[in-house]
Structure 1
């Protein structure tokens, strides 16, 4: 492994851990305050979800975060995080067109989370596109050492 490979791997390790943590916090919050997500589903999507459904969704999301954090089943886990976040971004388009809007008191930027969402989405796309350079992951190790296990990539 060259010095450039090690730098690329280190950069992607940092990106992967940060993105997995970002989604994990949101997923874990579904377990801590499930009624908040029931209200979001009702108000944003017009659907009723049970507590069991909220916990099940959180469990799947946490599993994907764990897989992504260690770099296992990379295309599935990184792609899963990307799709989950893309879904969130598509539901919040209005804030992208007015990133400097303030609250009614004129003291707080109400759309800044949407702007942050775009940066996270860009990083997730980059992680998926650079999957072959993600050397410091279990999937990367499998790819380098056990070529017959290509499905782990």
Structure 2
């Protein structure tokens, strides 16, 4: 006989908060990945400019496709340790490429427009990825949690 697991009201709130966080992060990265498919030339330029890497259009499509697949896994809560961490590591790579902007957050251009304020968003998103991974056991409304409740516990769910 299967043991029914009942979530407390606090478990339900935690699960709902993490569902919202997970969907928001997946959507955030999905937009960047989808643009690789829509405008691959822009990402060829960025790879050359920031990383000194020449990428073919097919390579940009493959990277974008892999990122979209990971976003789907995160949105569904599948292979949670792997998928959440993988998107977090990808985002961390973006932060590493822009680290100099963090040193001068109040810089303005000739027209007085702040030019380094967007990296603050990068830090907030990185914090959200870290929180998502640390709270993975409270992520009750995901397919990984559902499978875990209906089978032997597995660390990768």
TM-score category (smaller protein): over 0.9
Q: Structure 2-normalised TM-score?
A: 0.93
Gaps of 5+ in 2: 1-6
1:13 paired residue number = 19
> Where do residues 1-150 of structure 1 align in structure 2 (5 Å cutoff)?
1-106=7-112, 108-147=113-152, 150=154
Q: Distance in 2 between matches of 1:55 and 1:90?
A: 23
Q: Distance in 1 between matches of 2:64 and 2:155?
A: 25
Higher helix share: 1
Contact 1:38 1:54 in 2 (8 A): yes
Gaps of 5+ in 1: none
TM-fit CA distance, 1:151: 5.4
How many residues get paired? 151
Runs of 4+ in structure 1 displaced over 4 angstroms? none
Q: Structure 1-normalised TM-score?
A: 0.95
C-alpha RMSD of the superposition: 1.0
Where 1:135 maps in the other structure, the secondary structure is: coil
Q: Distance in 2 between matches of 1:11 and 1:144?
A: 19
Contact 1:103 1:110 in 2 (8 A): yes
Contact 1:142 1:152 in 2 (8 A): no
Q: Distance in 1 between matches of 2:79 and 2:38?
A: 27
